[in-house]
Structure 1
Amino acid sequence: MSSLVHHFFNVKGGVTERTAPSSSGGATETFANLHVAVVGCCHGELDKIYLACSDHEVSSGKKIDFVICAGDFQALRREEDLKCMAVPEKYRSLGDFVKYYQGEKRAPYLTLFVGGNHECSDWLAEESYGGFLAPNIYYLGHSGVVVVDGCITVAGISGIFKAHDYVRPYPNRPFHVSEASKRSAYHVRRIEVEKLRAFVRALRHMQQWGRKWGAQSVSPLATAANIANPAQKVSQDGGNDTTNSHITLPPVDIFVSHDWPTGVTKYGDEEQLLRYKPYFREDIRHGVLGNPHTVKLLQDIKPRYWIAAHLHCRFEATVPHENTSGKCTTAGTTSPVATQQKTKFLALDKPAKGKGFIDFIDVPGERGAVGRKSDVDRVVHHPLWLRVLRESHNYLSANDDSWSSETCNFLQSSEEEPISTEVSIPAHSTKQLLQSLGLPPSPIQQAQPQSTIAVVAGGGSGHHRPVTGSGHAKLDDKAGAPDANCSSVATRPADWNGARTEDGVDAGNDLPWVEDAVGDV
């Protein structure tokens, strides 16, 4: 147990090493920065992204632990999936993902992504609680919180904000039958934000409870087994006892969204941004550039990093936070915990421009905290997030005010008691997660009928693909034959090729462009 003890430090560059007693007696653990590649819009250009990662490793001498993509990933498996993606005709292209889906190639780095406004929305809806769409490629879901390698907490939300859809239910599936549904499907819903707010409240509750009793900061995976039984605590020597030695959950390290939190531009060089994107000026002036609801998440979650994309430009900002976390006793010392004093916001461009689409960050973590049995076991649902999913699941389709972070039942517990959590569940697929929680799929998560499927060669984690007589995945069933659903019974995330951008900016030439009467630019 003690080998999972996780001390968080705000480290800039270099390596911080601390020792913790191991179960074997004298071994030590090394606490160091994990090196993470962060990418803006993918637009299906996975090959270019992975080549940039490889070049960086050679030039820097640093090994990349995993990759994060901030949307427009475009996980397209075959030609029919293009019907499910809202994009101008000139940008309709399968992109690189199909090669990774079929097993022709394998992602050389664990890759996590959120959805944008150019995705195969029907497939992503089936995996709305997250799942692997191909070996080593993981979709975070419509919203999600996971723990990577036992020590790095990554949260995210997919889609872009449109006020008229925020409080509406998700459209009926299949989405691709109408342009309105196809576009409405990727608009952020109120319940996704409320789930993340509930998670933040639960995390804050545990942190306050931990500070009250004098807590150790440990990996979220360590707390899953112990907080589930509040009477059982973790002693400093790694054993279990019932003494006054408690545990608390660490903060979110990285938050990922596609569009930007409204108002974030004022924390960076706004004038330089407007020189590059002058048509943003009016939206910024009226406070409508980005999502007005995620800015509250930024203020509450206070992640180390917030990664975004969508506007096809690079922009950096540093968002300061008030220190409301107090002090916590950790392994005999007093140190700040639970919140970051500032968040580094980083928005990135698209690969098509050849620059500004990728960067690399160092996140403090404990290397080797949890053994890597397989790629899929590297990503685990956060135990508090599982509580949120269990309680909010029946309200997912309605997306009304009958459930919110304020009315969340498990958050009504006394500050004197910790919140009991679910046992940690590997984030394999939404279907497996629902089965583990004993929940039926919601209407938007229902798998649509599909042709015969078979396990992808080398997948090793239950990935599937359509099969033809040659044993290779079909890209096109019959030319001109409409696909009834554009979905898959058992596969995972997204990616695509092309270029456009935000909510009305053509990525090809950075000029405004007008879509159809659907009203979603």
Structure 2
Amino acid sequence: MSSSQTFFFAAVGDVHGHMNRMVSHLTAWEERSRRPLEFVLQVGDFEPHRHDADLAAMSAPLRYRHLGDFAAYHQRRRRFPWPVYFIGGNHEPYGHLDLHPEGAELAPRCHYLGRSGVVELNDLRVAGLSGIHREATFTQPRPPLAALGTASNKDFTFFNEQDVERALALGRADVLLLHDWPSGIIQPQQAAGFQGQRRSASHDLVGNDYARLLVDALQPRLVLCGHLHRRYAATVAHPGGQRSHVRCLASVEQGADAFAVFQVRGADLQEVAMQE
């Protein structure tokens, strides 16, 4: 990251198909702050369902399956005001996304980064890893797309060893997008807030070691996560003195805690107040 330009970008937590709500919140910030956003980064569970067939390929209880807003953007009845770059979470139409394992533009200004991918945005190198971790299948290939309908939809939601190796081979990143959190980021004084939760029976079980491996290896300035539907901030210190600032975001349905805006000024990258 070496550019001397100054610009702003946004990060968004789990969208779950509520693209219109995401757009409304961020355009309101632009109007209040009188500052344009260059692009938006999203951390999975975006749910870009085009139609019922996509919905049928998603892993989720029936009560959570809804088409959402994406069809209007795919059909060009609506348009994202800025480029949106997203990774996959554990509630996605992987029957569609896995047609593009290296990533693709799925609608105008809407880009999937693939199972593991990288993009250069205004001299900012943004890397991402899609999916969540399951140790039992980590060293195994995912089922082929032809198995959809016979294999469990959940089997498509996990990253594997090959995905992580490809992400490690990216070499470096200024920003790293993950769905689940890296392990080892919960401060002891905050441990009580993570006890007995559905996805965190105890604070030391939050996140996964492979996400942390990527943070330690790529040493990004900024790590963005979703999945647990709660906002949290942490810092990971690296042996050479570099630091990775971790920002975990809530879901769009929860409101402001799902959003963050960052200013890039030369080599400096910092979060700015959403209420500006």
User: 1:430 is matched with which residue?
Assistant: none
- Residue number in structure 2 paired with 1:139: 112
- Name which of 256, 259, 266 aligns with 2:177: 256
Identical counterparts, % of pairs: 30
Q: Which residue of 1 aligns with 2:263?
A: 362
Q: CA deviation at 1:97?
A: 0.5
Q: What amino acid sits opposite 1:264 in the alignment?
A: I
Cα gap change, 1:65/1:272 in structure 2, threshold over 3 Å: closer, same or farther? farther
Return the offset for 1:283: 4.0
Which residue number corresponds to residue 70 of structure 2?
A: 97
Match status 1:196 vs 2:115: no
Q: Tell me which residue corresponds to 2:215.
A: 298
Pick closer, same or farther for the CA change 1:273–1:302 going to 2, 3 Å.
farther
Distance (whole Å) between structure 2 residues aligned to residue 152 and residue 188 of structure 1: 25
The one-letter code matched in structure 2 to 1:7 is S
**Aligned: 1:178 with 2:178:** no
1:284 maps to which residue?
203
Q: Which amino acid aligns with 1:44?
A: G
List aligned pairs for 1:150-165, cutoff 5 A.
Answer: 151-165=123-137
Q: Letter of the aligned partner of 1:359 in structure 2?
A: A
Is the Cα contact below 8 Å between 2:224 and 2:248 reproduced in 1?
yes
Match of 1:497 in 2: none
Matched, 1:42 2:15: yes
Query: What is the number of equivalent residue pairs in this alignment?
Result: 267
SS of the aligned residue for 2:5 comes to: strand
Q: CA RMSD in A?
A: 2.0
Q: Deviations over 1:119-166 (max 9, x none)?
A: 1001111111011000000000000011113x1100000000000111
CA shift in 2, pair 1:176/1:280, >3 Å: closer
CA 1:283–1:179: 2 relative to 1, 3 Å: farther
Matches of 2:2 and 2:110 in 1, distance apart? 28
CA 1:282 to 1:148, structure 2 compared with 1: closer, same or farther past 3 Å? same
Distance 2:198 2:49 in 1: 31
In the superposition, relative to structure 1, how do residues 83 and 365 fare at CA in structure 2: closer, same or farther (>3 Å)? farther
Letter in 2 for 1:169: P
Q: How many Å separate the matches in 2 of 1:37 and 1:292?
A: 26
| Equivalent residue, structure 1, for 2:248 | 347
Aligned counterparts of 1:81 and 1:311: Cα–Cα separation in 2: 24
Secondary structure of the residue that 1:359 maps to in structure 2? strand
CA contact (8 A) 1:45 1:96 kept: yes
> What is the alpha-carbon distance in structure 2 between the residues aligned to residue 175 and residue 102 of structure 1?
28
Aligned to 1:317: 234
| TM-score under structure 1 length normalisation | 0.49
Q: 2:2 aligns with which of 1, 7, 26?
A: 7
Is 1:270 equivalent to 2:190 in the alignment?
A: yes
Q: Distance in 2 between matches of 1:188 and 1:358?
A: 25
- Matched residue SS, 1:298: helix
Give the TM-score taking structure 2 as reference length.
0.90
1:413-443: CA deviation from partner (whole Å, max 9, x where unpaired)? xxxxxxxxxxxxxxxxxxxxxxxxxxxxxxx
CA-CA distance at 1:34 after TM superposition: 2.4
Bigger radius of gyration among the two = 1
Q: Which runs of 5+ in 1 are unaligned?
A: 1-5, 9-30, 201-250, 325-340, 367-521
Q: Which runs of 5 or more structure 2 residues have no equivalent in the other structure? A: 268-276
Change (3 A) 1:73 1:269: farther
Q: Pick 1 or 2: higher relative contact order, CA cutoff 8 A, min separation 6.
A: 1
- Which of these residues, 91, 100, 118, is aligned with residue 91 of structure 2? 118
Distance, in Å, in 2 between the alignment partners of 1:59 and 1:174 is 48
Quote the offset at 1:273 in angstroms. Answer: 3.6
Cα displacement (A) at 1:178: 2.9
In 2: Cα distance, 1:269 partner to 1:80 partner: 46
8 Å contact kept, 1:43–1:73: yes
Deviation at 1:362, TM superposition (A): 1.7
SS, match of residue 188 in structure 1: coil
Letter of the aligned partner of 1:85 in structure 2?
M
Q: Which of the two has greater strand per residue?
A: 2
CA-to-aligned-CA distance 1:376-403 (integer Å, 9 cap, x gap): xxxxxxxxxxxxxxxxxxxxxxxxxxxx
Q: Map Cα deviations across residues 242-276 of structure 1 (whole Å, 9 max, x no partner).
A: xxxxxxxxx5211001111111223x86336437x
Q: Residue 65 of structure 1: SS of its match in structure 2?
A: strand
Deviation at 1:281, TM superposition (A): 5.5
**What does 1:424-463 correspond to in 2, within 5 Å?**
none
